[in-house]
Amino acid sequence: MGFYSVDWVYFIFPIFCIIFLFSKNRLIYIILSIYLVIFIGLSKIGADYNGYLMHFNMHRSRIALKYIHGEIFFKLLMRFFAENNFSYDVFRMIYLSLAMILLCIFLYKLSKNYILTLYIIYNGYIIYLCSAYRQMFSMILFFISLYYLKNRKFKRACILNCIGVGFHISSILALLLVFMSNKIKKININRKKIVYLLFICLGLRFCMSYSLSLFTKIFFLMGRSEQFESYTSMSELLPFGLITRLIPFTVVILFFKGQSKFENKLFFMYIISILLYVLFPYDLMMGRLTNNGRILECLLFPIIIFEQKQKFNKIYIIIFVIIYFILAFINQMLKQRGFYPYLNYIFI
């Protein structure tokens, strides 16, 4: 799909976010939030739309849960709607709309610039918001858990991420990040150590990628390479996803200062998730696993901009965020199927 095939309606929300980027008018917040809930919650788009429709029909046919893909809580939720004669579209509308409402409420509570956070979430993660039903909800539970972590309610934060595991397995990392950040009494921001760790992870990534390829050749000579092919086919030394993560990662480690324990915890969780992605050369698997930490960019960049005392630094970072995430958005639209043309239940 070419760039000019991207439906213009997708650009309305980011344009208004840019216009009102530093507005503190709560009415603007409410309008943008309602727009996002309607645009995502009532949409009929996404690469996984038909896949989950198939799952829903399997639930309606009362096929055993073990034969349906997905985690247990999500399957039980879908089974409830299917067995109570709700249509798939009604299930989708209720599920996504409630998810977007929860997302907006807790991002508002957590962010230093709510509109900028919405801009990053929308542009950087739209495919999760309206297509990846399971991981999207696990991400929302992660944000809610961060709110409780901020208010020193560690047990509630852990329970929420345990529930998240029932929606998507990636919540295991979210749970681990919350646990680690709470147990470490003092988080020191040492940029040199982070850079050293980055290069160590890159070196280990190279060794693992090369070793896996070597072992595949050995087992090929032995006539037993089939077991390894599924792994090697998904492993890449320097995938595009790695580059797109290291660009904002570099900006974060350069400019983040951290004025509170909670902000330092966010920084710690983000750094760990990116380093884990760098370490293992399995782009697809690690991308899904670590996105619950990567998505913290939506909270970290507002913090970084808020912290800047030098006017030019603040302007440069704002320009970077606007350009980088709109490019990330366009890249998703060009690579993903099921988003063009934009469809909404209101207009059908």
Averaged over successive runs of 10 residues, the pLDDT of the chain (348 residues) comes to 65 95 94 95 88 93 90 94 93 95 96 96 89 91 96 94 94 93 76 91 82 60 51 59 90 90 93 92 80 94 92 93 94 81 79
Residue 34 identity (one-letter amino acid) = I
pLDDT of residue 228: 46
Cα-Cα-Cα-Cα dihedral of 309, 314, 315, 319, to 10°? Answer: 180
1 domain residue, yes or no: no
Residue 41 lies in a domain: yes
pLDDT given for residue 337 in this prediction:
80
Question: What is d(CA 142, CA 235) in angstroms, rounded to the nearest whole number?
Answer: 28
Residue-level pLDDT at 220: 57
Q: How far apart are CA 54 and CA 325, in angstroms?
A: 32
Total domain count, the chain? 1
Q: What is the pLDDT of residue 227?
A: 47
Residue 173 lies in a domain: yes
- Give the span between the Cα atoms of 278 and 244, in whole angstroms: 11
Q: Record the tokens describing residue 64, joined without a space.
A: 């055993």
Question: Residue 130 falls within a domain, yes or no?
Answer: yes
First and final C-alpha spacing in the chain = 24
Q: Would residue 305 count as lying in a domain?
A: yes
HSE-CB at 344 with a 13 A cutoff on CA atoms is 14
Beta bridge partners of 344: 43
Over its C-alpha atoms, the chain yields an Rg (Å, rounded) of 21
Which of 19, 232, 28, 9 minimizes the C-alpha distance to 126?
A: 9
Distance from C-alpha of 6 to C-alpha of 340, rounded to nearest angstrom = 7
Residue 3 lies in a domain: no
pLDDT of residue 7: 79
**In angstroms, how far is CA 49 from the centroid of its own chain?**
18
Torsion 7-13-18-20 (CA) sign: positive
Domain assignment present for 4: no
- 176-186 core/surface letters (b: 16 or more CB in 10 A; e: else): bbbeebeeeee
Looking at residue 222, its pLDDT comes to: 53
Question: At CA 219, angle to CA 218 and CA 222, rounded to 5?
Answer: 100
With respect to residue 320, please indicate whether it lies within any of the assigned structural domains: yes
Candidates 287, 285, 272, 280; CA nearest to 203 is: 280
**Which range marks the domain in which residue 55 is found?**
9-347
Sequence-distant (≥ 6) Cβ neighbours of residue 143 within 8 angstroms: 103, 106, 107, 110
Closest to 300 in 3D by CA, of 142, 121, 128:
121
